[in-house]
Amino acid sequence: MKDRIINVLAAFESENIGKSFPLDYCLPLYHSVSDKELPHLKHVIRYKNTRQFEEDLDHMAKNFQFVDWQEFKEYKAGNFKPAKKIALLTFDDGFREFYDVAVPVLERKGIYACNFINPAFIDNKEMMFRCKASLLADAAEKIKTIDPEIYFIFSLKNADRSILQKKILSINYQEKDILDQLAEKFEIDFKAYSQEYKPYLTTAELKELTRKGFGISSHSWDHPKYGDLSLKEQMETTDKTFAYLKENGFLYESFAFPFTDFEVKKDFFDELYKNEEIYCSFGCAGIKLDSIKRNFQRIPMEMGESGAQILKKEMAYFRLKKLINKNMIIRK
């Protein structure tokens, strides 16, 4: 019902979204851009192909002025006067397609982007648990016969394959060891896959991207959901990542929450901003305000629709929530 209302309202949004956009900044978020099938991503991220990505960029460039990290900071400080509302392009997770596919497009168009990475996965030493789940879900779809023990692990009795896939994809960070058990039964070697397909960027590529002027910043050590962690655990994974960024000469002034900042309390931000080198943090709740003034919400752009449609729907939803005073996240 909610989606239907938003779709109807989105149809009434002006085509000139640069003028009608409710905030003075737009923060689009992507993970990967690829024209190939990526088994480690296809079940968890609806990534766009090159043509769709370029169409999104062209639409945003028509309505916003893309800025780099320094310009974003200068703008927020009131020292930079853009011709239009601004857009800061962001990517998460440090996938190799950022270097191979997205950056050549961005260089051609003169657009900056910042990629928020998890150091645990750089150089393909390890793979994020959601990527492992995607590989297993892919195997569950394609394998001829499924080992009965796989059903036993989930307390299922020869359920439909789609139910098995959903179960695999619902495994969370705290349960991630189950994925390694399942890999044995599916005869999938995560390490071999990582070495062959190299899903993530290498240290050398990150340094090359920095040299080219792109941002490499913090997304936690290994991508837990912060709302499920204690404050101590939240700070440990955050601080470990900042130490890595500083050591390698990357951008250590910002932090983007893995998954979401939903249920992250004020005490985390109080602790985070004790580090005076940190300028801001980023969530991904769409067009929304935050009671933590230095925490900015980004717009997920991989929703199976064009960027133009996603932005219109986000704008419509923001206006709808404004009517009932619900367009700000309040941290306690």
| pLDDT tens-digit readout, 264-304 | 999 999 999 999 999 999 999 999 999 999 999 999 999 99
Helix, coil or strand: residue 20: helix
Please state the φ and ψ torsions of residue 318, each to the nearest 5 degrees.
-60, -45
| 248/305 Cα distance (integer angstroms) | 37
User: 89: domain CATH number?
Assistant: 3.20.20.370
137, 113: one domain: no
135, 236: one domain: no
Domain boundary among 170, 195, 220: 195
Mean pLDDT value across the chain = 95
The per-residue pLDDT for 7 is 74
Number of structural domains the chain divides into: 2
Integer angstrom CA distances of residue 198 from 34, 114, 122, 265: 14, 21, 10, 36
271, 240: one domain: yes
| 53/300 Cα distance (integer angstroms) | 13
pLDDT band at residue 4 using 50, 70 and 90 as cut-offs: confident
111, 234: one domain: yes
The per-residue pLDDT for 139 is 96
| 307/61 Cα distance (integer angstroms) | 12
22, 117: one domain: yes
Tokens of 33: 């851009």
Task: Name the pTM for this structure.
Answer: 0.95
CB of 115 closer than 8 Å to CB of 216:
yes
The per-residue pLDDT for 8 is 63
Nearest to 121 by CA among 133, 106, 132: 132
170, 213: one domain: no
What is the residue type of 309?
Q
pLDDT band at residue 3 using 50, 70 and 90 as cut-offs: confident
| 257/118 Cα distance (integer angstroms) | 11
209, 98: one domain: yes
Domain boundary among 177, 195, 213: 195
pLDDT band at residue 262 using 50, 70 and 90 as cut-offs: very high
Nearest to 131 by CA among 118, 146, 145, 149: 118
Nearest to 224 by CA among 209, 211, 235: 235
Helix, coil or strand: residue 278: coil
pLDDT band at residue 157 using 50, 70 and 90 as cut-offs: confident
Nearest to 268 by CA among 241, 231, 296, 316: 231
| pLDDT tens-digit readout, 104-114 | 999 999 999 99
| 303/310 Cα distance (integer angstroms) | 8
CB of 134 closer than 8 Å to CB of 91:
no
Tokens of 44: 């968890």
| 196/189 Cα distance (integer angstroms) | 11
96, 142: one domain: no
| 310/304 Cα distance (integer angstroms) | 9
User: Among all chains, which residue has been given the structure tokens 């009671």?
Assistant: 291
Write b or e for each residue in 163-198: b if 16 or more Cβ atoms lie within 10 A of its Cβ, otherwise e: ebbebbeebebeebebbeebbebbebebeebbeeee
What is the residue type of 80?
F
175, 103: one domain: no
| 96/189 Cα distance (integer angstroms) | 20
190, 225: one domain: no
188, 241: one domain: no
222, 296: one domain: yes
Domain boundary among 157, 172, 195: 195
| 26/22 Cα distance (integer angstroms) | 9
Domain that holds residue 207: 2-125+200-329
Give 95's DSSP letter.
B
Tokens of 42: 């296809």
